[in-house]
């Protein structure tokens, strides 16, 4: 995961450019939910602004797994507008044993919790995410460490709930790259302890970002990036030809930009190469083997 920094005002400008009048219609719907005291509507309008999030997230990357998906012309069907905080109820997430044993305790979802009914149309409650991350994994789960607040209407203020998942869009939540980095193809928490470490561990587990069996394509894609990057980094640091070094640098920068797939993995690998080239070469060897062996 990486962050896509943007202010609310700039995001709303993008939304209005995409669909003039959408914010007003969205506001009217929110007022209706406020009057009812829960979320209910016959049909929704958030799909109308899906392209805004697709473009914002590195030209159509999944917000969570960083897979690159098809562009807005043909790719809308393979991405969901994901509600970060579920709108109509929150299901209890079954925490895997390993996380429980590391002392992480998610708050029990209150029995009558009706979901974040004032947030179905909040611009900072959306992301575009792939079907595996949203439909198969995230569903209506939202594990937190603090106290659930279904009346909350500001995602920024709702950080007081101590959510475990990281919201990658906007200008208020943690930068995922401050919490999660990669060693080779595997994501790892950066903090040694505390909520920052727990957020990283839960996010990695929740989206199965470190599950080489069930999400093997993530690993294959990361391995391909590492193999390509290693070759380029070698050329850029060792070639006697300046033009060749510059050409390698340009391509390296292409791998590190937010529009590239698996940017966090690529940036982590470049850092490793700079501080420990011997270990980077070992990671490159493993990645090469993975590409050959993965089915
Ligand atoms: Zn995904």
Confidence of residue 35 (pLDDT cuts 50, 70, 90): very high
Q: What separation in Å is there between the alpha carbon of 119 and the centre of ligand 1?
A: 22
Tens of pLDDT, residue by residue over 194-252, are: 999 999 999 999 999 999 999 999 999 999 999 999 999 999 999 999 999 999 999 99
Tell how far the Cα of 60 is from the centroid of ligand 1, in angstroms. 11
Q: Residue 294: its pLDDT value, please?
A: 72
In the reported structure, the alpha carbon of residue 43 is separated from the centroid of ligand 1 by a whole-number distance in angstroms of 25
Q: Which pLDDT tens digit goes with each residue over 92-148?
A: 999 999 899 988 999 999 998 999 999 999 999 999 999 999 999 999 999 999 999
* Mean pLDDT score, 26-46: 97
Distance 284 CA to ligand 1 centre (A): 24
Of 168, 185, 186, the closest CA to residue 177 belongs to 168
Q: What angle do CA 189, 192, 197 make, to 5 degrees?
A: 45
Mean pLDDT (whole number) for 3-27: 98
pLDDT value, residue 84: 97
* Cα(177) to centroid(ligand 1), Å: 16
pTM of the model: 0.95
Cα 63 to ligand 1 centroid, rounded to whole Å: 6
Mean pLDDT of the chain: 96
Compute, in angstroms, the gap from residue 55 CA to the centroid of ligand 1. Answer: 15
**Ligand 1 centroid to 225 CA: how many Å?**
17
pLDDT at 176: 98
Q: How far is the CA of 49 from the centre of ligand 1 (A)?
A: 19
């Amino acid at each position: 995961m990486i962050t896509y920094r943007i202010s609310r005002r700039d995001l709303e400008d993008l939304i209005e450019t995409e669909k003039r009048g959408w914010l007003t219609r969205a506001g009217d719907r929110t007022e209706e939910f406020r009057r009812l005291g829960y979320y209910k509507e016959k049909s929704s309008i958030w799909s109308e602004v899906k392209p805004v999030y697709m473009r914002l997230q590195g030209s159509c990357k999944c917000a969570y797994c960083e897979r690159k998906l098809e562009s807005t012309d043909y790719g809308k069907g393979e991405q969901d507008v994901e509600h970060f905080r579920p709108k109509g109820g929150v299901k209890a997430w079954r925490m895997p044993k390993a996380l429980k044993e590391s002392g992480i305790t998610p708050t029990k979802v209150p029995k009558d919790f009706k979901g974040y009914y004032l947030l179905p149309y909040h611009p900072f409650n959306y992301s575009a995410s792939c079907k595996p991350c949203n439909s198969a994994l995230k569903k209506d789960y939202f594990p937190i460490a603090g106290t659930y607040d279904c009346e909350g209407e500001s995602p920024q203020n709702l950080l007081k709930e101590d959510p475990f998942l990281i919201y990658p869009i906007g200008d208020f939540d943690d930068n995922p790259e401050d919490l999660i980095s990669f060693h080779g193809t595997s994501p790892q928490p950066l903090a040694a302890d505390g909520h920052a470490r727990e957020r990283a561990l839960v996010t990695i587990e929740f989206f199965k970002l470190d599950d080489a069996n069930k999400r093997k394509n993530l690993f294959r894609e990361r391995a391909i990036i590492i193999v390509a990057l290693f070759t380029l980094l070698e050329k850029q640091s060792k070639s006697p030809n300046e033009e060749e070094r510059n050409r390698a640098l340009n391509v390296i920068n292409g791998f590190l930009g937010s529009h590239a797939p698996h940017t966090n993995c690529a940036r982590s690998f470049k850092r490793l190469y700079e501080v420990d080239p011997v270990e980077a070469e070992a990671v490159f060897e493993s990645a090469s083997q993975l590409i050959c062996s993965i089915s």
